[in-house]
């Protein structure tokens, strides 16, 4: 099958031809025809398989065939994504595919000023790509009306559930028209995703292109057994001796990512961190530098394990093994893209061996064991000297340490902008203001960032046992805002 066989609108065919698209990927071949026919679609495929085009092209084709005058504050298409980076990437794809169509595409997410997004939505848009938290904020402010949505896409649903967006999704879908076309895409199909499909989709066409736990075939995978305290020396050596073009180093926690960046700087290795406690400007700058090649080492939590399309990543280093085996598959899926080959090297400490067994059981293969470098003892000693000579590499910056002092402050290593109070009121107003975007931007940054991706010392995406999902209280949409005092009549 070629794209010409899909009978897409001429402006769409011209745009995808200019992007060099000729043959649809398996998920595109399976999902585009039923989507063009107006059916609901349940798509199962790993990230990097072309899922965005699988839902964007049918949507744009329908908009092109049925143009309508835009109504204020409304959108015809709503695409929900779990992270800011993925939302921005999806919006960019819609813009690129629809470049010859007179369509309006908007993207909204937390961590940036909300006023600019309100102004963008005021005249109405054809396609709105959003993270759930910021979308609900805009709806509550009266800046967005979801009553005219004709097509809904839920992308990376399993990750949205992992990040705790289930209640936000229920509120959002409750505001949508009953008559609509819906598409749900996920890398895995746990019972929770099947329940979502039954709730949001009507007689969907199910398409799956490969088992969810299958790793990328072109990735050469190996593991090196090393103690936790000696990992940094090994990583620094591998970054120099391996033929590294660009690499993502994955850690489990945000504090761990910052620590690796500081300690690599002692080795004169330039690296940038990306995680939920970084401001949106910092995250955008880090990704931009990584894409252009200015930064060759990106240290990230699992926030970067899904959806990001960076074709030139040559190596993936699992500095800390994920405690959820499926995340390993998503992590190494950042390399060997666009027909290239890639390497994935895991650094396994003794206390992480149960994680390694779970990963090998999940991918149904054993990782090749790679030996330590012959001069490894000398490397460990050199690393210790370099870190000792560089105080900034041995401990957090002063402002980061001081943020844990005083009542209500963040613990050491946490960004004070992401402090969440025990009663769920979100970050303090002054911290939110520092994060950009005022109170609403800071609150949504906390929701889409620290609150969704785990707290200090806890893997991103993990929620404590028995913890109650944080967000607005009450079962229905339009309830009282968190932290707001109720009137006596409402008690």
Chain segment 342-387, per-residue pLDDT in tens: 899 999 999 999 999 999 998 889 999 999 998 899 999 988 888 8
Q: What is the mean pLDDT of residues 197-201?
A: 92
Residues 132 and 31 in one domain: yes
Task: Let me know whether 178 and 88 are in one domain.
Answer: yes
Query: In terms of pLDDT, which residue wins out, 469 or 214?
Result: 214
Give whole-number Cα distances, 241 to 234, 238, 258, in Å. Answer: 10, 5, 23
Q: Please give the pLDDT value at position 184.
A: 96
- Based on the fold, state whether residues 380 and 231 are members of the same structural domain: yes
Same domain, 183 and 263: no
Question: pLDDT value at position 463?
Answer: 43
DSSP, collapsed to helix, strand or coil, labels residue 288 as: helix
Residue 216: what pLDDT? 61
Strand 205-208 to 41-44 pairing: parallel
The boundaries of the domain holding residue 480 are 420-491
Domain end: 161, 185, 208, which one? 208
CATH of the domain at 78: 3.40.50.300
Same domain, 194 and 231: no
The answer to whether 346 touches 223, Cβ cutoff 8 Å, is yes
Name the least confident of 11-15, 34-38, 102-106, 410-414.
Answer: 410-414
CA dihedral sign of residues 257, 261, 266, 269:
positive
Closest to 459 (Cα-Cα) out of 335, 350, 331 = 331
Note whether residue 293 is domain-resident: yes
Residue 414 lies in a domain: no
pLDDT value for 396: 59
173 and 38 inside one domain? yes
Evaluated on CA atoms 6, 12, 284, 73, the torsion sign reads negative
The pLDDT confidence band at residue 440, using thresholds 50, 70 and 90, is very low
Q: What percentage of the chain reaches a pLDDT higher than 90? A: 52
Mean pLDDT in residue range 247-260: 94
Region 15-26: what's the mean pLDDT?
A: 91
Provide the domain count of the chain.
3
**Residue where the block lists tokens 């099958």:** 1
Asked if 173 and 259 sit in the same domain, the reply is no
| Residue 387 within a domain | yes
Query: Which of 159, 187, 208 delimits the end of a domain?
Result: 208
pLDDT tens per residue across span 297-319: 999 998 777 767 777 899 999 99
Query: Taking residues 217-232, what's their average pLDDT?
Result: 92
Per-residue confidence at 466, pLDDT binned at 50, 70, 90?
very low
Which pLDDT does position 15 carry in this prediction?
95
Tell me: do 13 and 155 sit in the same domain.
Answer: yes
Write the DSSP string, 376-443: HHHHHHHHHHHHHH-HHHHS--HHHHHTTSSTTPPPTTS-GGG---TTS--S-HHHHHHHSSHHHHHH
What value does the mean pLDDT take over residues 221-235? 95
Asked whether residue 173 is domain-assigned, the answer is yes
Do 198 and 269 share a domain, yes or no? no
- Phi and psi angles of residue 345, each rounded to the nearest 5 degrees, phi first: -120, 125
Domain membership flag for residue 305: yes
Domain identity same for 332 and 388:
yes
Per-residue pLDDT at 192: 85
Give the residue from 134, 152, 151 showing the smallest Cα distance to 143: 134
pLDDT at 317: 97
Looking at the domain assignment, is residue 415 inside a domain? no
Q: Are residues 312 and 275 in the same domain?
A: yes
What CA–CA distance (Å, rounded) separates 228 from 350?
Answer: 8
The pLDDT, as a whole number, for residue 210 is 64
% the chain with pLDDT above 70: 76
Question: For residues 258 and 419, which has the higher predicted lDDT (pLDDT)?
Answer: 258
- The confidence band for 394, taking pLDDT boundaries of 50, 70 and 90, is low
Query: Taking the CB of residue 391, how many other CB atoms lie within 10 A of it?
Result: 10
Answer whether 441's CB lies under 8 Å from 432's CB.
Answer: yes
Same-domain check for residues 169 and 248 = no
Any bridge partners for residue 129, and if so which?
79, 107
Beta strands of 325-392 (E only): which ranges? 342-348, 368-369
Q: Is the pLDDT of residue 74 over 90?
A: yes
Radius of gyration for the alpha carbons in the chain, expressed in angstroms and rounded = 23
**What's the pTM value of the predicted model, to 2 decimals?**
0.67
- Helix (DSSP H) and strand (DSSP E) numbers for the chain: 20, 14
Q: Is residue 181 part of a domain?
A: yes
Task: Specify the pLDDT at position 388.
Answer: 84
Answer yes or no: is 364 within a domain: yes
Residue ending a domain, among 180, 208, 236, is 208
Is pLDDT larger for residue 54 or for residue 161?
54
More confident residue, 184 or 287: 184
């Amino acid at each position: 099958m070629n794209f010409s066989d899909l009978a897409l609108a001429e402006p769409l065919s011209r745009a995808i031809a200019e992007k060099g698209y000729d043959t649809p990927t398996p998920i595109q071949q399976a999902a585009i025809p039923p989507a063009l026919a107006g059916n609901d679609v349940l798509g199962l495929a790993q990230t990097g398989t072309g899922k965005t085009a699988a839902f964007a092209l049918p949507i744009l084709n329908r908009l092109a065939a049925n143009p309508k005058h835009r109504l204020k504050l409304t959108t015809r298409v709503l695409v929900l994504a779990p992270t800011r980076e993925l939302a921005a990437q999806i919006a960019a794809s819609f813009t690129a595919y629809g470049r010859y169509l007179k369509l309006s595409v908007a993207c909204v997410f937390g961590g940036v000023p909300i006023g600019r997004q309100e102004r963008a939505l005021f005249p109405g848009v054809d396609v709105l790509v959003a993270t759930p938290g910021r979308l609900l904020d805009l709806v509550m402010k009266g800046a967005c009306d979801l009553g005219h949505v004709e097509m809904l896409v839920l992308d990376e649903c399993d990750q949205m559930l992992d990040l705790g967006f289930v209640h936000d999704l229920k509120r959002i879908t409750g505001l949508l028209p009953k008559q609509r076309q819906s598409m749900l895409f996920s890398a895995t199909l746990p019972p929770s995703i099947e329940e979502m499909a039954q709730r949001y989709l009507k007689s969907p066409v199910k398409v799956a292109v490969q088992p969810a736990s299958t790793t990328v075939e072109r990735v050469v995978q190996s593991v090196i057994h090393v103690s936790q305290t000696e990992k940094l020396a090994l990583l620094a050596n591998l970054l120099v001796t391996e033929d590294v073009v660009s690499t993502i180093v994955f850690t489990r926690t945000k504090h761990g990512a910052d620590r690796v960046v500081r300690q690599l700087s002692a080795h004169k290795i330039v690296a940038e961190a990306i995680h939920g406690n970084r401001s949106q400007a910092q995250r955008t700058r880090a990704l931009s530098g990584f894409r252009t090649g200015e930064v060759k080492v990106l240290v990230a939590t699992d926030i970067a394990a899904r959806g990001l399309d960076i074709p030139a990543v040559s190596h993936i280093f699992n500095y800390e093994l994920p405690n959820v085996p499926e995340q390993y598959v998503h992590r190494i899926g950042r390399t060997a893209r666009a027909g290239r080959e890639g390497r994935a090297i895991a650094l396994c400490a003794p206390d992480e061996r149960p994680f390694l067994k779970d990963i090998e059981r999940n991918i149904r293969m054993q990782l090749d064991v790679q030996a330590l470098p012959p001069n490894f003892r000398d490397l460990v000693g050199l690393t210790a000297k370099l870190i000792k000579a560089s105080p900034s590499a041995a401990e957090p910056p002063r402002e980061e340490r001081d943020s844990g002092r005083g009542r209500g402050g963040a613990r050491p290593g946490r960004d004070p902008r992401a402090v969440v109070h025990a009663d769920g009121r979100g970050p303090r107003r002054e911290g939110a203001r520092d994060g950009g975007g005022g109170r609403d931007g800071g609150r949504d940054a906390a929701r889409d960032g620290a609150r969704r991706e785990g707290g200090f010392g806890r893997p991103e995406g993990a929620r404590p046992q028995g913890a109650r999902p944080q967000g607005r209280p009450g079962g229905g949409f339009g309830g009282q805002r968190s932290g707001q005092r109720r009137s006596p009549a409402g008690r």
